[in-house]
Amino acid sequence: MKKFETNAIRTQADQSSSREHSVPLYLTSSFTFDDAEQMRAMFADELEGNIYSRFSNPNTSEFIEKMCLLEGAEAGYATASGMAAVFAGFMALLKSGDHIISSSSIFGSTHTVITKFLPKWGITHSYADVNKPETWVGLIQKNTKMIFIESPSNPGLDIIDLKWLADLANKNNIILNVDNCFATPFIQRPIEFGAHLVIHSGTKYLDGQGRVLGGIILGKKELIKEIYTFCRSTGPSLSPFNAWVLSKSLETLSIRMERHSENAHKLAVYLESHKEIIQVRYPFLRSHPQYETAKKQMSLGGGIVSFEIKGGIERGKEFLNALEMCSLTANLGDTRTIATHPASTTHAKLSEEERSSVGITPGLVRISVGLENIQDIIDDISKALESSKI
């Protein structure tokens, strides 16, 4: 079996008769058949092959095959965005009367889907506190079908013990579904710890250059079969162009994640000693409450650092305004360093109480540390900390 970097580079769609070195873009909505019998057999799932790009396409298939190798998954389906993958996982596998347990510390839109939409279809939920693992067992009900988590979580960087949770899920016949967006398969592979499904927003580190939206859901064959049928019939498919971009981007995932992590770790250490900062969160800092767990299941700390600035909401905004180089934008996992203020943006739809229960304080700032020279990143942040003093 080839190693991670080689799989990320050498997994390619079959060469065409033109003998190209880099895979071409298959901009076609449908595929032709040799004859009526082949067409019948393909529609009947007796023969494998491309029929229509909502079902499959050589570019999306290459992206899926590569991601399966990188995550150690049996199968997958690629979607138009990360949220389409989250939604497809819920819709294809849950039904009215089912119950889901989710860590409370999750992406804002996922929180909205669980809290606002799932109840409309009779799917109930319980939110679980990552910092109190002993309370999780008590949340399991007879109708609990899925546990959904992010580790590290957005934006609080909470870490959950994946092995412990997978054992709990398996013992109770529950599907463990992990949003692995922050770590990427280069840093953490939840399936190796026993997770049944892994989700990614391809928009983040998989692309890594802030160009395209995309998502993917990977895992056990029998679960992906249901998800495939749901997606094939409802249409959240990834476009061939975005799949082509994402698959190309994966060729550099390993070196990008190494540098993102190196820069983020240096920034976290710098911030930890800064007198204008109350607290810094980074999985590979000893001060992180789940540092030992992070070390056990992640090979690097990742590219996100969050911190609490002195002076609350006003100071947080002043700090963002004082940045000269770092971008103010909603994305993360880009080559460019990005600063955001979750309380007023990504998590603004949550109530004040909900926000504080997931650790989003008014002065919390999230930095997606990019690939610029680390000294320039630190200089920009340090100047902004000085000039935003109140």
**Choice between 214 and 311, CB closer to ligand PLP:** 214
* Closest separation in Å from C-beta 222 to ligand PLP: 24
Contact 339, 322 (CB under 8 A): no
Binding residues among 170-199 for ligand PLP as defined by CB under 6 A? 179, 181
> Most distant CA pair in the chain: distance in Å?
75
Give the whole-angstrom CA distance, residue 63 versus residue 56.
11
The answer to the question of residue 105 lying near ligand PLP (CB under 6 A) is no
Give the whole-angstrom CA distance, residue 22 versus residue 336.
26
Cα distances (angstroms) measured from residue 110 to each of 214, 350, 352: 16, 12, 17
Could you say which of 102, 103, 151, 201 contacts ligand PLP (CB under 6 A)?
A: 201
**Choice between 62 and 179, CB closer to ligand PLP:** 179
The answer to the question of residue 311 lying near ligand PLP (CB under 6 A) is no
Strands (DSSP E) along the chain, which ranges? 75-79, 99-103, 124-128, 144-150, 175-179, 197-201, 215-219, 277-281, 304-309, 327-328, 338-340, 364-368
- Binding footprint of ligand PLP, residue count (CB under 6 A): 13
Binding residues among 62-101 for ligand PLP as defined by CB under 6 A? 81-83
Q: Is 138 exposed, middle or buried (0-12, 13-18, 19+ CB in 10 A)?
A: exposed
Site string for ligand PLP, 123-142 (x = CB under 6 A): --------------------
Q: Nearest to residue 127, comparing CAs of 114, 118, 117?
A: 114
Give the whole-angstrom CA distance, residue 365 versus residue 290.
20
* Closest separation in Å from C-beta 215 to ligand PLP: 5
**Choice between 13 and 118, CB closer to ligand PLP:** 118
Strands (DSSP E) along 70-214, which ranges? 75-79, 99-103, 124-128, 144-150, 175-179, 197-201
Give the whole-angstrom CA distance, residue 380 versus residue 333.
19
Give the whole-angstrom CA distance, residue 203 versus residue 207.
6
**Choice between 301 and 311, CB closer to ligand PLP:** 301
**Choice between 158 and 380, CB closer to ligand PLP:** 158
Could you say which of 98, 150, 334, 380 contacts ligand PLP (CB under 6 A)?
A: 150
Contact 27, 58 (CB under 8 A): no
**Choice between 99 and 347, CB closer to ligand PLP:** 347
* Closest separation in Å from C-beta 85 to ligand PLP: 8
Looking at 201-209, 243-251, 272-280, 366-374, which segment touches ligand PLP (CB under 6 A)?
201-209
**SS3 at position 33:** coil
Binding residues among 152-171 for ligand PLP as defined by CB under 6 A? 154
* Closest separation in Å from C-beta 318 to ligand PLP: 26
Could you say which of 58, 185, 215, 301 contacts ligand PLP (CB under 6 A)?
A: 215
List b or e across 277-313, with b for residues whose CB sees 16 or more CB atoms inside 10 angstroms.
Answer: beebbbbbbeebebbebbeebbebbbbbbbbbbbbee
Residue 124 — φ and ψ, nearest 5°? -95, 165
**Choice between 150 and 161, CB closer to ligand PLP:** 150
Contact 119, 95 (CB under 8 A): no
Cα distances (angstroms) measured from residue 144 to each of 65, 165, 175, 179, 382: 31, 14, 9, 19, 47
The answer to the question of residue 306 lying near ligand PLP (CB under 6 A) is no
* Closest separation in Å from C-beta 243 to ligand PLP: 14
Tokens of 201: 């927003």
Residue nearest to ligand PLP (CB): 82
Could you say which of 70, 176, 213, 326 contacts ligand PLP (CB under 6 A)?
A: 213
**Choice between 123 and 199, CB closer to ligand PLP:** 199
The answer to the question of residue 203 lying near ligand PLP (CB under 6 A) is yes
The answer to the question of residue 107 lying near ligand PLP (CB under 6 A) is yes
* Closest separation in Å from C-beta 338 to ligand PLP: 12
Q: Which residues bind ligand PLP (CB under 6 A)?
A: 81-83, 107, 150, 154, 179, 181, 201, 203-204, 213, 215
